[in-house]
Structure 1
Amino acid sequence: MATRAAAGEVTVGADGRLHAAALKAVAEPDTLKALRDRCQKMTPRLDIGDLITEVMGWYPGFVDAYTHVSSGGARMDDLPVTLAAVLTAQALNLSWTSVTSPDVPALTRSRISHVYQNYVRAENHAAANRWLIDGQAGLATASCWGGGLVAAVDGTRFVVPVRSLHARPNPKYFGRRKGATYLNLINDQGAGTAGMVVSGTPRDSLNAVDLLYRRDGGRQPQVLISDTGSYSDMVFGLLKLLGVQYRPELADLPDQKLWRINPSADYGMLDSAARGRIDLTRVRQHWPDILRLVASVHSGAVSACDAMRMLQHGGNPTQLGQAFAHFGRIFKTLHVLAYVDTESYRRAIKRMRNLQEGRHGLGKYVFHGRRGELREPYHAGMEDQLGALGLVINCITLWNTVYLDAILDQLRADGFPVLDADVARLSPYMYAHINVHGHYTFRAPDLRGGRRPLRDPDALAED
């Protein structure tokens, strides 16, 4: 790295601060634009309720995951229809009135209320979500996006206009009111694998590790990507010992200090950048306690959030916390060097951050009722409703990927140019074809060919 800095490929300021050239957007080739346009035109259009019902039909275990609160006894008739209505109302943030139909026994208000009170729980959402994650992982198009070993964590902010102990103020996100954050973990195939509600807007790093250990399904990630707000030296050390590479995006790169072990080493132009010193003596002194704490987190005896809090007292790290931080700075420094030195490394992080933003955009489109405000006063209610939102987003993601698979197969058969590089840049979060407004129906589709017929883009008139 120092050799590349001397050659002028990396910039080091007079004050010892590193500077990396801003990433330039990769221009979209005409083949990608044509492919994306053709896919959007061929995608069938449908209501959100029908989409959920269709996905339920693909995976019977999805509905079976919703057991009665008292037991796993006999199932009521037409439970999938009522369950789809409940998930629709919860995910779209609507009242039951929007999804009720007095003439349909499965959609009466009393039936919907009964299913909501007795079948809808966060643990059932998680069990159902496992089917969606596994289904997404087995699709050819999803494999073009990644192998499920890279994860990203970020939070979606919600204003909570009702009185609640689980809402906190933050003028930047909530104005004069209070709010909560729904932290969600996604993999590089676009599937949401875990989620949790936290009060206000805490630093994501305090909860990111817990999300890795409360996944609903999917492969154990080997890389965790987050925004700058999740950065923490101690988290670097904890994740390293848990076998996960931590790669936060570095928005304020010049403020990142490099750390060295050998104070007499000569790093050339990087000497001034390596202003911090890692104290290995302190790490060795506390190494047995460090390993015990990591083992406790890995085994589930203590949550990572609680462990991080125990390592700090009054905002200052304890002696064990300082040892953890010194260990983590080794890998923080390696991360900063790779971030500056390797453009592909930065682009991989940016790609996951963009994927997460795409999911947030889909979430806002779906969660549109009541001005997008979360009006549940209790934590359990927040977990249930936002768990339903995450589940419905995964239904959309899976449905989109299934039909993208079918569309791409059809295009290849027709001789349309389909390049793997273009497929890798398609998004599983498109939603222009999904209706989320109006009074909703929950019809089981007639899938004689296994799926809905694709639209003909050449004969398609503008709607």
Structure 2
Amino acid sequence: MDIPFLRQPVDAQLDALTRELRAQLLAFNRELKRGKLTHLTYDKDAKTLIWHKPKGENQKVREQSFYEQLPYCDVADVFRFVNGQCHFLSALTPLQPRYAKKVANADSLMAVVIAQAMNHGNQVMARTSDIPYHVLETTYQQYLRQASLQAANDRISNAIAALPIFPHYSFDLDALYGAVDGQKFSIERPTVKARHSRKYFGRGKGVVAYTLLCNHVPLNGYLIGAHDFEAHHVFDIWYRNTSDVVPTAITGDMHSVNKANFAILHWFGPRFEPRFTNLEDQLQELYSADDPALYEKCLIRPVGQIDQQLIISEKPNIDQIVATLGLKEMTQGTLIRKLCTYTAPNPTRRAIFEFDKLIRSIYTLRYLRDPQLERNVHRSQNRVESYHQLRSTIAQVGGKKELTGRTDIGIEISNQCARLIANAIIYYNSAILSHLLTKCEASGNAKAVALITKISPAAWRHILLNGHYTFQSDKMIDLDALLAGLELG
């Protein structure tokens, strides 16, 4: 197994990490005393740290003016265009035996995916499209499965990553940022996974669609219960990503933070970089590798010392846990639940938590010292919020923000269909931006290139999501004709 944590002796790893923590802690206090950290102010009377967060640039007006110039296209035409580019519908293979299966009809596949994603259902789709009900029902039973829909999503994700515009979505040359977050959806019929939540579902029940997003592309996603702690799934959704795009830094909100995620993700390579909201709470989680008494003269002092000897003595048990996670024999959520059933003095659990304190303290100091890191994390989380708006719009085409299905499997299929629609829309917009980018770079229009690279592909105002659907058509979108006469300002 190619796992970074298993390559080096634990002593060498701890020496390097403790040196970095010591250097970060001293540099932070030195820069704070000298006033070099202009985004932070230390109140000597209250002995508190005040955080001045920068205001981000609003790109909504610019994006709105760009997409308003594009002609309206039916979602079926967008689906047909994307399938012509990356052939994702061929990943939807049937369940029939080898010599009995028929070649899937692309029109019926598009219709049944849209019916599930937009909460129409097959009966409503049969009344509002040119595909009869019995064809929709047969196609749904034969072709829509979690594995096949995941493969179709991966094809679109990989195709987006191959477009010229994709590298320009990155805002850090040294890291590929992925963001994780959950989105609440109500359900019509109760299932095993559905739970009550009066805040989000009123008197009904619902689930959470947990998503990994990278450069506007939803790489992976699945449903969890509304009662599940999102932090238990951060590692799983990254490690079980089957696309070719692998984020090297994972961002999240405070729901993604627990006492082990910094350690687990560090073991496997990616950096865990959550968005902190309360500065004082994070300073209470700041530890040092040395005796805290050595930092008495510092403005910001660690609250405790990390037990390095415990980590060294428990290295064999930690290696077993790392190997189990690496072989996918256990999910992260199961691991955390098992650890939390131990008694408080359990040495293995304490060692993992001590290692987590070490990684978290280093990240906290980097986060406080570097305003650009804070902006990158903030932008990464804003992208997943934009994706949630797109998903919400797709779900509400059929009326409510809910997922259809009679069972947990049916609801998961509806969720994957909605992710497939969102992926197709993002590919369509990225193809438009890539087409314009190539033309502007060839003509040397640097101003237009700068504008294009700042536009988000998570937009839908130029796509007709509702109405009467015409699938049996040979109409294909021509980007040259579509973008003729477009002004970039």
TM-score using structure 1 length: 0.89
Does structure 1 residue 228 correspond to structure 2 residue 254?
yes
Task: Give 1:59's aligned residue.
Answer: 86
Whether the 8 Å CA contact 1:82–1:115 is kept in 2: the answer is: yes
CA drift at 1:352: 0.5
Does structure 1 residue 20 correspond to structure 2 residue 51?
yes
Whether the 8 Å CA contact 1:98–1:439 is kept in 2: the answer is: no
- Consecutive unaligned residues of structure 1, counting only runs of 5 or more, are 459-463
Distance 1:102 1:354, change over 3 A: closer
CA drift at 1:15: 6.5
Distance 1:449 1:425, change over 3 A: closer
Identity of aligned residues (%): 24
Whether the 8 Å CA contact 2:433–2:452 is kept in 1: the answer is: no
Task: Give 1:154's aligned residue.
Answer: 181
Q: Which secondary structure state, in structure 1, belongs to the residue aligned with residue 277 of structure 2?
A: coil
Q: Which secondary structure state, in structure 2, belongs to the residue aligned with residue 123 of structure 1?
A: helix
Q: Which secondary structure state, in structure 2, belongs to the residue aligned with residue 69 of structure 1?
A: coil
Distance 1:324 1:17, change over 3 A: farther
88-97 vs 438-447, which deviates more?
Answer: 438-447
Q: For 1:272 and 1:456, how far apart are their aligned partners in 2?
A: 58
Q: Which secondary structure state, in structure 1, belongs to the residue aligned with residue 482 of structure 2?
A: coil
Whether the 8 Å CA contact 1:182–1:386 is kept in 2: the answer is: yes
Task: Give 1:355's aligned residue.
Answer: 383
Q: For 1:292 and 1:419, how far apart are their aligned partners in 2?
A: 53
Distance 1:72 1:372, change over 3 A: farther
Q: For 1:298 and 1:152, how far apart are their aligned partners in 2?
A: 21
Distance 1:449 1:437, change over 3 A: closer
283-292 vs 272-281, which deviates more?
Answer: 272-281
310-319 vs 399-408, which deviates more?
Answer: 310-319
Task: Give 2:73's aligned residue.
Answer: 46
Task: Give 1:456's aligned residue.
Answer: 485
Does structure 1 residue 210 correspond to structure 2 residue 236?
yes
Distance 1:83 1:33, change over 3 A: same
91-100 vs 449-458, which deviates more?
Answer: 449-458
Q: For 2:32 and 2:141, how far apart are their aligned partners in 1?
A: 62
Task: Give 1:284's aligned residue.
Answer: 312
CA drift at 1:71: 3.5
Q: For 2:190 and 2:476, how far apart are their aligned partners in 1?
A: 46
Task: Give 1:343's aligned residue.
Answer: 371
Of 109, 112, 116, the residue aligned with 2:133 is 109
Aligned length: 450
Distance 1:135 1:66, change over 3 A: same
Task: Give 1:383's aligned residue.
Answer: 412
Whether the 8 Å CA contact 1:182–1:195 is kept in 2: the answer is: yes
CA drift at 1:412: 5.8
Alignment-mate amino acid for residue 45 of structure 1: Y
Alignment-mate amino acid for residue 257 of structure 2: Y
CA drift at 1:432: 0.5
Distance 1:402 1:235, change over 3 A: same
CA drift at 1:265: 5.7
Distance 1:156 1:448, change over 3 A: closer
Task: Give 2:434's aligned residue.
Answer: 405
1:424-443 equivalence runs, <5 A: 424-443=453-472
CA drift at 1:272: 4.7
TM-score using structure 2 length: 0.84
Task: Give 2:19's aligned residue.
Answer: none
CA drift at 1:138: 1.0
Whether the 8 Å CA contact 2:390–2:458 is kept in 1: the answer is: yes
Alignment deviations for residues 151-191 of structure 1 (CA, whole Å, 9 cap, x no partner) = 1110110122422221122233223332110101011x211
Of 245, 252, 270, the residue aligned with 1:219 is 245
Distance 1:448 1:278, change over 3 A: closer
CA drift at 1:27: 5.9
Q: For 1:161 and 1:444, how far apart are their aligned partners in 2?
A: 33
Task: Give 2:149's aligned residue.
Answer: 125
CA drift at 1:388: 0.6
Of 92, 96, 116, the residue aligned with 1:90 is 116
Of 161, 164, 177, the residue aligned with 1:137 is 161
- Consecutive unaligned residues of structure 2, counting only runs of 5 or more, are 1-27
CA drift at 1:142: 1.4
CA drift at 1:365: 0.9
Task: Give 2:302's aligned residue.
Answer: 274
Distance 1:341 1:116, change over 3 A: same
Whether the 8 Å CA contact 1:234–1:324 is kept in 2: the answer is: yes
Alignment-mate amino acid for residue 158 of structure 2: D
Please tell me the root mean square deviation across aligned C-alpha atoms, in Å: 2.7
Whether the 8 Å CA contact 1:151–1:224 is kept in 2: the answer is: yes
Q: For 2:332 and 2:413, how far apart are their aligned partners in 1?
A: 23
Q: For 2:134 and 2:96, how far apart are their aligned partners in 1?
A: 19
Q: For 2:188 and 2:129, how far apart are their aligned partners in 1?
A: 35
Task: Give 1:328's aligned residue.
Answer: 356
352-361 vs 95-104, which deviates more?
Answer: 95-104
Task: Give 1:306's aligned residue.
Answer: 334
Whether the 8 Å CA contact 1:50–1:443 is kept in 2: the answer is: no
Task: Give 2:190's aligned residue.
Answer: 163
Alignment deviations for residues 238-269 of structure 1 (CA, whole Å, 9 cap, x no partner) = 11111110001111221112111211563466
Alignment deviations for residues 216-236 of structure 1 (CA, whole Å, 9 cap, x no partner) = 302322111111111112111
Q: For 2:474 and 2:460, how far apart are their aligned partners in 1?
A: 19
Distance 1:215 1:329, change over 3 A: same
CA drift at 1:335: 1.2
